[in-house]
Homo-oligomer: A and B are copies of this chain.
Amino acid sequence: MSRALAGGAGVIPRGPGRPRSEKAEAAILDAALQMLADEGAARITMEALAARAGVGKATIYRRWKNKTDLLVDAVMRVSEPAQLVDTGDLRADLIAIMDNARRKMGSTVSGRIMPRLMSAAIDDPELMRTYWERAIQPRRALVVARLQRAVDAGELRSGLDLDSLCDSLFGPMVYRKLFAAARGLPTRESIAQGVDVVLIGALSR
């Protein structure tokens, strides 16, 4: 920790000597995410991580003080900024959002990372909070906003707790994903039924 990390806005003071390699930093974080997806946080060893990133251990510890610190940093890179979906057709929007999430879970690296991260975060409250605040909560906020607009338009009845409604949408999918080893992945049909049931149940009457 001999050099200031990128903190706050402004110019990063440039000291003497060889500058830190951004390439090494990226390689470390990439390797961490790969290993997280492949084997889970518990099985990541700093030695294997360094080897996989093609980096010396000192290069890792020069940037992060321990494994948790590194993981938190890596996790933040997974969260690409989600975008609001609002075509005006509530049902189509929700199904698009949910099925997009489902496809992500089924195929991309972040889909393999999610359960691993859950596993690690359950045993590490600090990691859980970071994961929630930086990766999950922002996406939920967009969905809640979409739902709020539907309430304002009179499509959904008022008086609903939209946060809980959000749970009713995402909960079943995450639930299925986590149990995937015992039941297989959630299907397009199961997601669609889940959305429809919740949607009908939340409509104005």
Contacts and interface: CB of A to CB of B under 8 A. Distances in A.
B164 A190 contact: yes
Interface residues of A, number: 48
A196 interface: yes
A174 B167 CA distance: 10
Q: How many copies does the complex hold?
A: 2
A170 interface: yes
Interface in A183-205: 183, 189-190, 193-194, 196-202
Contacts of A125: 181
A168 B178 contact: no
B201 A128 contact: no
Interface stretch (A10-18, A88-96, A113-121): A113-121
A161 B132 contact: no
